[in-house]
Chains A and B, each alone.
Chain A
Amino acid sequence: MKSVLLLLGISGTTPFLSGCWDRIEITDLAIVTAAAIDKNDNDQIELSVQVFIPSSISSGGGGQGGGSSQGGGAVTTLVRYEKGSNISDALSKLQSKLPRKVFWGHCKIFVFGEKLAKEGIREQLDFLLRHPQPREKANVYVSKGKAKPILESLPPLENYSGEVLRELSDLHIGMLVTMQDLDEMLTGIPQAAALPFVKILPPEKGQTKLQGIPYIAGTAVFKKDKMTGMMTEKETRGLLWLRDEVESYTVTIKPKGVKGEISLSPVSAKVKIIPQIINEKWRLSVKVITDGAVIQNGTNLNLSNPKSLNAAERAYQKDIEKRIKMAFLNTQHKKADILGLGKDFYRKYPKQFNKVDNHWDEIFAEMEVEVDVAAHIRRQGYINKPAGLSEEEVKDK
């Protein structure tokens, strides 16, 4: 009798095990792969989501590769959009147009439209940080013009446009900013942020309109939560040097006194930023140690010779110095501490920093910078003389 009761009791608890109220089958989910948030002219928020179509992969299988759809593979995502007074309002309207429940857990890309970025992203960011589904590790971007076309584009190489952006970010070509980074930049000391700026590469002639590819074309500069300016691709690279994010990078230099250029790749770098306060003067010392391997030598310098190697290294060093100085002057000019230097100063000089906390922007804008680069060329590839030159033409210097 007792064992029967026990058995009944145990089986009575099984409904609790499944968490039945929150049971969601994967076939009931609309998995968002990327989202774009725009502001239209009526000051309404437009939320566009790129939703993954599961059947496009499961039923198509290998057949779609050589299929009829010319160029770009089969469509694996669909884009829906809806207007509303804020994201959650737009989302609830959007939900009524999707047969499956919107699921943010796999959304790795959030793109803010330019207009929204200029008017402030704080309100919308609150939703993304508060909602339990969107992830801190998701990448955040700002688009030129509206953000929706970026989701709509059908890149030929990847399955969907969100994946393109993510892969590009992983290559460290532009800045890589996650939601957590953005939150930290905005709530922390600098009160300024930088987000990668995305454009669409227009499609070649003859391709369909949607086959443009989004790519990272610089950096959007934010003061507080409002976009105030932007930096070009070249300036962004200098920024990457200062942030010590240089990876798989090519540097092309022009040594003095000879014709042609030398390219170095890959270049690796260690960057140390040392804040200093000397005699009440705030200054920054940047120490860089960088190594490179020659990948192309268009000059007539014989790099096996220490003298010419030295000349090349000096040019290398000058080039890096110039890049870093330019990027720094550029951020100073914008009066936005997107490098988070305030944090570095606070870490080293908390007392002095607390005194100038409220006019840090001005101090930052007037700060002096000293760049100290140690540049070395370590390898020269498979040939030891410039190609296509006879012995006499090669200059040993």
Chain B
Amino acid sequence: MEKGKISSLQMAFMMYPTIVATAILGVPSITAKYAKTDLWLSPILASLIGYATVYIAYKLHKLYPKQTVIQFSEQIIGRIPGKILGFLFLFFYIPITGQILRSYGEYIVDSFLVKTPISVVMASMILLCAFIVRGGIEVLGRAAQLFVPVFIIPILLLIILLGPDLEFKNIFPILGNGIMPPIKGSIVPGGWFSEFFLMIFLLPFLTDMKKGMKYGMRTVFAVMMTLVVVNLIVLFVLGSTTSTKNYPLMNVSRYISFADFFEHLESAIMAVWIVGAFVKISVFYYAAALGTAQWLNLSDYRPVVWPIGILIVEFSFWSYPSAMDVSRFDIIAFPFYGVLMQTLIPLLLLVIAVVKRNRQRKKGSNSS
């Protein structure tokens, strides 16, 4: 079905923007709402979900090295329940891709292309993603490898250029209201970290499978560090107003003013951000297309790419009437829905698979 191969480094480059791209936009504001000045602690706590998810995904992968979750769930819990679970996964990933697309579109329309219909913004993005998904995992992996460094540089640049405006005192008091606020704040980014389960769709195509776990864990760490740094920058610049902004990173990048002429840089920084969003949507899209083809037992996933693209765009419209609803979904539903589908259910699958395998081994040793 997919004959391409990627290296585990390429997988890391694909997973990094998959989490970070949308997380750096919304997470600072959401965590600030609950954790106040301790918002930088929340990603550290939330990353535990990421580590757990990578561990579960890798263990499942080791039990069924050549298969994705859609295929091996049939083997673990039987054909019919497996199909049902597979459908649930697809019904999770396709609408979620729509949701990501919608939040991308809302952001672009809200801040730059005010008069452009959002359908054009989203459709042109999904068209581009469809091309890369049809190109296969190798194309996707190499594009990610090419784009991610470009995506990281502006964040580093932001730190340097904002130097004079950083108010380090804003970090105090640390844990002024106890440990509960950062824990509450970590629930929402936890949903983002659970997206690491997408690795299960990439692991079967690794050339160096043994390194999969190592690179997965490293990616979680890199994402955690990025979110901590971004949260801190936002806190240092915006202080107590962080939670009132919809896109705090945007406000922060607008704040750059260096020597009176080096300013108004936000469009350059955000143009590069779109590259990250592009990789993110492509990875989700790829997982949805590959999963659907496997669920239907097709011989190739390429024929379903276009129909799923249309579905994704439709879902992005059907599911949410407004930008407020998109972010409400992110805060209220997704942390629990995402963790349930991507961390807890896989954990359950893993437990069943391990128990089953042990029993089989026992049976085997008994009968011999």
Binding site for B on A (CB under 8 A): 13, 16, 19, 21-22, 105, 132, 135-137, 180, 183-184, 187-189, 343, 346-348, 350-351, 354
Contact = CB atoms under 8 A, between A and B. Distances in A.
Contact of B255 (A16, A180, A188, A347): A180
Contacts of A350: 173, 176-177
A22 B251 CA distance: 21
B157 interface: no
Interface pairs A-B: 5 shortest CB-CB = A350-B176, A347-B172, A188-B240, A21-B116, A350-B173
B325 interface: no
Contact of A180 (B172, B173, B238): B238
Interface in B251-305: 251, 254-255, 257, 263-264
B116 A19 contact: yes
A61 B264 CA distance: 26
A350 B37 CA distance: 11
Given A137-B255, A184-B241, A188-B241, A105 B264 contact: yes
Nearest to A189: B240
Q: Is the interface of A mostly helix, strand, loop or mixed?
A: helix
B263 A137 contact: yes
A172 B120 CA distance: 47
Interface string B133-150: 000000000000000000
11 contacts: A13-B127, A22-B113, A132-B110, A132-B114, A180-B237, A180-B241, A183-B244, A184-B240, A346-B173, A351-B176, A354-B177
B32 to A, nearest CB: 12
Contacts of B117: 21
Interface of B: 110-117, 120, 124, 127, 169, 172-173, 176-177, 237-241, 244, 251, 254-255, 257, 263-264
B124 A187 contact: no
A379 B124 CA distance: 66
Contacts of A21: 113, 115-117, 120
Nearest to B240: A188
A105 B266 CA distance: 12
Contacts of A183: 241, 244
A283 to B, nearest CB: 19
A19 B113 contact: yes
B240 A187 contact: yes
A317 to B, nearest CB: 27
B254 A137 contact: yes
A17 to B, nearest CB: 9
Contacts of A184: 238-241
Given A105-B264, A343-B240, A346-B176, 4 more contacts: A16-B124, A19-B113, A180-B237, A184-B241
Contact of A188 (B239, B263, B264): B239
A105 B267 CA distance: 12
Contact of B251 (A136, A343, A348): A136
Nearest to A130: B246
Given A189-B240, A347-B169, A348-B173, A22 B263 contact: no
Nearest to B237: A180
Contacts of B244: 183, 187
Contacts of A347: 169, 172-173
Contacts of B177: 350, 354
B254 A135 contact: yes
A253 B76 CA distance: 87
Nearest to A24: B115
Contact of B111 (A16, A132, A351): A132
Contacts of A187: 240-241, 244
A16 B251 CA distance: 27
A38 B331 CA distance: 39
A348 B111 contact: no
A348 B115 CA distance: 48
A188 B173 CA distance: 14
Contacts of A189: 240
Contacts of B176: 346, 350-351
Contacts of A351: 176
A144 B344 CA distance: 63
Contacts of B169: 347
A296 B130 CA distance: 75
Nearest to A347: B172
Contact of A22 (B116, B172, B173): B116
A272 to B, nearest CB: 12
A176 to B, nearest CB: 12
A81 B5 CA distance: 65
A12 B120 CA distance: 14
A187 B176 CA distance: 19
Nearest to A106: B264
Contacts of B264: 105
A189 B173 CA distance: 13
Nearest to A16: B124
Contacts of B263: 137
Contacts of A346: 173, 176
Contact of A137 (B124, B240, B257): B257
A17 B127 CA distance: 13
B115 A22 contact: yes
A92 to B, nearest CB: 15
A22 B114 contact: yes
A187 B127 CA distance: 43
